[in-house]
A and B are shown apart, each in its own frame.
Chain A
Amino acid sequence: MAPFEDDYVPTLKILLIGNSSVGKSALMLRFTNDMWAPEESSTTIGVDFKVKMVMVGGKPYKLTVWDTAGQERFRTLTKSYYRNAQAVLVVYDITNRATFEELPRWLKELEANTASDIVKVLVGNKLDKDSSRAVTTEEGEDMADRYNVGFLEASAKSNTHVKECFMEMVETIIETPTLWGQSTTGLLLPRGDDILELEAAREENGGLSLCQC
C-alpha cells in the first residue's frame, strides 16, 4: 500500500496511446463517465484529459487519464505526454489489422520514453465487433508476451472489461512502490489542495463514482 497519510488523495497518471480511431477516447469516456457517445467522438487533437476518483482498499485515489491523438506518435508531444506516467494503455482495434501491426512501433516508443517499471497493458478494443475480427486473441497475447506487457480485450461500446482494465492497472500501480518514488515526483507528492479536488471531480463527473474494488 502506498505510504500516504489519510488526509491526502494521491494522484495517478494513466496514458492512452495507439493508432487513430482505435477507440482511445471512447475507452476513456467509458471509464471516467461511463458513457458511450459516438456523437461526441470528434478526433482528438493534441491531448485530452479527464479525472476520476476511485477507491482502492478503502482509500481514495485520483486518476488522471490522458488521452492522446493517434497521429502524434514520434512527434511533437511525446516527451511531455509520457512524463510522470505510471501506467500506459496501448490500444489497438481488433477489427483493423493495420492498427495491430503498428503496435511494435508504439511499444518501442513506450520503452524509449518511460521508466521500465511502469504498468503497461495492451488493449484490443471493439470486442463488440467480434464477428468482423481481424486479429485473433492469441496474436494479441503473443504480442503482449513478446514485449512483456499485460493484455486484455475490451469494448468501450458494450462496456466489456473497461473498468476491470483500469482498476487492475490502478491496483498494480499502488502495489509497485517504485512507481511512487523518484520517477513520479511532482505529480504524486501529496498536496493539500488534492482534497479540494474531490469536490471538483464530483462536479466534473456529475457525481463521485467510487469503484469499491
Chain B
Amino acid sequence: MKMDDSQRIRRPGEGCLVVWGFLCPPCIWWSDLQELWRLLRWPWACTPCPYPTESTRSRRTELPSKEKLSNDHQRLFPVNAAHRSRWSTSAIYTSAAAPQTHLDQSPYQHQYRMTSPLDFPRTINDLRQAALNNTPTSVPRSLRWKLFLRVLPSYHPSSWSDAISRERARYAELKARYTAPGVVESGDPLSQDESSPWKERYADEELKETIIQDTQRTFPDIPFFRLPRTQQILLDVLFTYSKLNPDTSYRQGMHELLAPILFAVQGDALPPPSSTPDQDVLHHTCSETHVEADTYILFSKLMEHTKSFYLTTSTPENPAPIIATTNNIQNKLLPILDPDLHHHLTSLQIEPQIWGIRYLRLLFGREFGFSGLFGLWDALFADMSETGNLMVVEWVCVAMLMRIRSKLIGASYTETISLLLKYPVESESEPASYVREAIFLRENFSTTGGLRLVAKYTPVPVPSPTTSTTPTSSRTAIASGRLFDTLVSDVSRRAEKLGLNNTIRSAVQEVRKGVQTIQKEYDNNEHALLERFSPALALARPGNARGESSENLKGRDLANVLGESLKVLEGRVERDVEVERALEGIRRVRDTLSAARSPNASAVATPTGSAPTPAAAAAVPASTTLPSTVTASLSAPAPVPVPASKPSAYPARRLPTHPRRHQSRASLASSDFAFLLSGKGDEDDKNSKPKTAAAGSTGKKGVWGSGGDGEFDLGNLGKR
C-alpha cells in the first residue's frame, strides 16, 4: 500500500498522511538520520506535501494553480524545506562544532534545534509581527530577509522566481566584470601613469588584500567562516560591492554585515528544483547553487540603508553622516526621552561617536554577539520593510542606552565608557525586545514616553503597594492616594533634613496639591471614570484588563520618579546643578499629574459617554500602564496604545529646539516656583483651568514648550 502511494501521482494537498519521512522520497533525501528521528518524534509537524514525488514528476499531469499557491502558503512549501526551516540559523550551536568541509551541507545543521511546528504567516504583516515578537515561523530566515529587504517585491510567491532570477543574473554579470578582468596586455607594468591599466590592477590587488585581512578574522570562533570557500565568497562579494561603490569602497565593518547574511543564506540553502521554477518556487528562491548571488543581493540591499554609516568624507561644516547620526541620537533623541541620562553623558563629555560608530556600522553585531544578532536583525528588517528605512536603529541605540541607565547614571567616566563599549546585553532578554522598545519610543517620542521605559529600567526604590485586584477601585484609589501622601511627606521631610531651600519645598507642595486634586476628582467621578476607561484599559492590557485601577498604576509610576529624584537630592544637595536636576524630576511628576487631568476633565464633561474617543482611548494606556506592564504592552503584537497612531514620518525633523515640554499651571505661577514660568504666568492663568477639556491643546507654551505641539496632553501623547 505504501509503495503504491509513492508510485501514483499525487495532487496538491493530497500528500501522504502521517509518518511521511518514510514515504516521501524528498524528505529522506534531505534528511539525515537525526532529522528523521525528529520527524518520528514530532510527526504532527508535517503537513501534506503538495508536490509529487521525484519518481512521479515526469508523469505529473497537474500543477498547483497560482491561486492555490497564493491562497495557501502552508501548502506552498515542500515539506523538506519545512523540515529544514524549523532548524533556524540562530539556534544553539557551539564553537566546538566540527567544521563542515563542504558548503553543500547547511552549516551546523545537525545541531539545529526544532523550534515549533509549522506556522506560515498568511500576510507579510503577520510575518513582520512574528519577527518583532520573536515568534518562530517556518519561513526560512533568508527568505524572510529577502521579503523584508524587498529583494522579493511581494509576498506573493508567483513573483519570486522572476525577481530573484533577474538579480542573480545581474550579480553574475557584475562579478564577471570585476573579479575576472582580462589579461592586461597593453602598457608598461611599471608605469606611474594614472590611466595605465596596470595601475588599476595594482589598486585592485591592494583592495583585495585589505578585504582579505578582515575576512580572515571574520567571526574567528565560528568554524563556518574558516572554510576557504566561505572566505572566497566573502571576498568576491565585498570586492564586487567595493568596485561598484567607489565612494565608500571597502570599509572595515562591512564584512560583519555580510557574514551573517551568508550564514543565513547558506543555512537555508536547498537543492535546485529539478524541473521548472514554477513547480518549486522555494527551491528556486533559496537555491544552494546561488548562495553567493543571493548573499550579494541581500547585502547590497542592506547597504543601501547602512552605506551612510561608512561614508567618511568629513569637514568641520559637514561632519560625516555617522557623526551626525550619533549626535542626533545622543543630543536630540536622548534629551527628550531620558534627560537624566543625557545629562550624565554630557557632563562626562562622552562623544556619541565613541560608542555609536561600532553600534551602527555593524548593526549591533558586536553588542549582541553572533547568536543574538539574527533575532535582532529579524526585528530590524521587519520594521524596515514597513517604514522603508532603517532609522529604527537610532531608536534602538536610545533603547539600549536607556536599558542600562541605572548602571550608567552615577558611573565614572571610565566605567561609563567601559559599559558603552562592552555593552552588557542581558542574557535573558531577547534581542527583538530592543527593537520593540525602540518602536515604542519612536511612537511615544516625549519625556512621558521615555518615562515609561525609565520606570521599567529603574530599580524600584519603594516597595510595591499590595494592590486590590477588585475592579471596584475606591479602595485602591485611596491606597494610591496614601502612597502619594507618604511619598510627598517623605520628600518634604528629606528636603528639610538636607537643608533645601524654599524652592524645592514649594515644588514638593506643588506635587502634593496635584495629587490631592486628582484624588478628589477620582473619588468624585470614580464610576464615570471606570465606565469610560474600562474598554481602553482592557485594550491596553489584555489579560489584566480590570486588574488594577488606573490611579494605582499611576501611583506607582510616579512613585518611581519621586524615588529617583530623592536619590539625587540625597547625594548631591550641595550642587546647584544637581538640585536643578532633582527639581526637574519633580516637575516631571507634576507633568504627568497634569496630563492625567485632561481625560478626567472630559469624563466630567460627558460622564455617560458611550464610547471613548480615540484620543481618550489612546491616552489611558499611555499614562496608566504600570512599569511592570510596560513589557506586556510593548511586546503585544500590535502596538496597543494607539491603533490610529501609525508611526508617523521619522520625527527627527520635528524635534523641538528645547528639550522639555511643560504645561504651566496657575498655582505654580503663584508659588515660589514661579520663576520657572518666566513671565508667562499671566497667560497660563487664563488658559490652564484643570477641568477644561482642551487645556492641553490650546497651543499655550510653557517656558520650554516649542511650537504648537508642546503640550502635555494625553490625547496628544499617543500621537507622538
Contact = CB atoms under 8 A, between A and B. Distances in A.
A binds B: yes
Interface stretch (B410-418, B465-473, B533-541, B596-604): B410-418
Interface string B172-213: 000000000000000000000000000000000000001001
A200 B417 CA distance: 12
Given A41-B220, A75-B312, A200 B351 contact: no
Interface stretch (A115-123, A137-145, A185-193): A185-193
Contact of A45 (B351, B357, B413): B357
Interface residues of B, number: 36
Interface string B209-252: 01001100111110000000000000000000000000000011
A11 interface: yes
Candidate in B251, B255, B319 with the most chain A CB atoms within 10 angstroms:
B251
Contact of B362 (A20, A45, A193): A45
Contact of B349 (A20, A64, A186): A186
Given A41-B217, A71-B251, A76-B322, A47 B354 contact: yes
A20 B252 contact: yes
A153 B220 CA distance: 27
Given A20-B210, A204-B418, A76 B320 contact: yes
B353 interface: yes
Candidate in A45, A187, A194, A197 with the most chain B CB atoms within 10 angstroms:
A45
B366 A45 contact: yes
Nearest to B357: A46
A54 interface: no
B322 A200 contact: no
A61 B25 CA distance: 69
A43 interface: yes
Contacts of B418: 49, 51, 200, 204
B220 A76 contact: no
B81 interface: no
Interface string B355-366: 101100110001
Given A21-B213, A45-B253, A49-B421, A76 B353 contact: yes
A172 B590 CA distance: 55
B502 interface: no
Nearest to A51: B414
Interface residues of A, number: 34
Contacts of A197: 412, 414-415
Contacts of A64: 414, 417
Contacts of A11: 413-414
A38 interface: yes
A80 B252 contact: no
B217 A45 contact: no
Contacts of B220: 38-42
Contacts of B213: 20-21, 43
B323 interface: yes
A28 B622 CA distance: 48
A23 to B, nearest CB: 12
Contacts, number: 89
Candidate in A43, A51, A186 with the most chain B CB atoms within 10 angstroms:
A43
A80 B353 CA distance: 9
Contacts of A75: 312, 314, 320
Interface in A172-213: 186-187, 191, 193-194, 196-197, 200, 204
B414 A71 contact: no
Contacts of B312: 75-76
A48 interface: yes
A85 to B, nearest CB: 13
Contacts of A21: 213
A42 B219 contact: yes
B328 to A, nearest CB: 15
B73 to A, nearest CB: 39
A127 B220 CA distance: 23
A167 to B, nearest CB: 19
Interface string A4-22: 0000000100000000110
B354 A196 contact: no
B325 to A, nearest CB: 11
A21 to B, nearest CB: 5
Contacts of B421: 47-49
A100 B602 CA distance: 74
Interface string A51-69: 1000000000010100001
B214 A43 contact: yes
A38 B255 CA distance: 18
B270 to A, nearest CB: 31
Interface string A65-101: 0000111000111001000000000000000000000
B204 to A, nearest CB: 16
Given A20-B213, A38-B220, A39-B220, A77 B353 contact: yes
Given A43-B252, A49-B418, A80 B351 contact: yes
A197 B412 CA distance: 8
A62 B418 CA distance: 14
Interface string B401-424: 000000000001111011001000
Given A42-B256, A45-B357, 4 more contacts: A43-B255, A76-B353, A80-B354, A200-B414
12 contacts: A43-B217, A43-B255, A45-B361, A46-B353, A51-B418, A71-B251, A75-B312, A76-B314, A191-B412, A194-B412, A197-B412, A197-B414
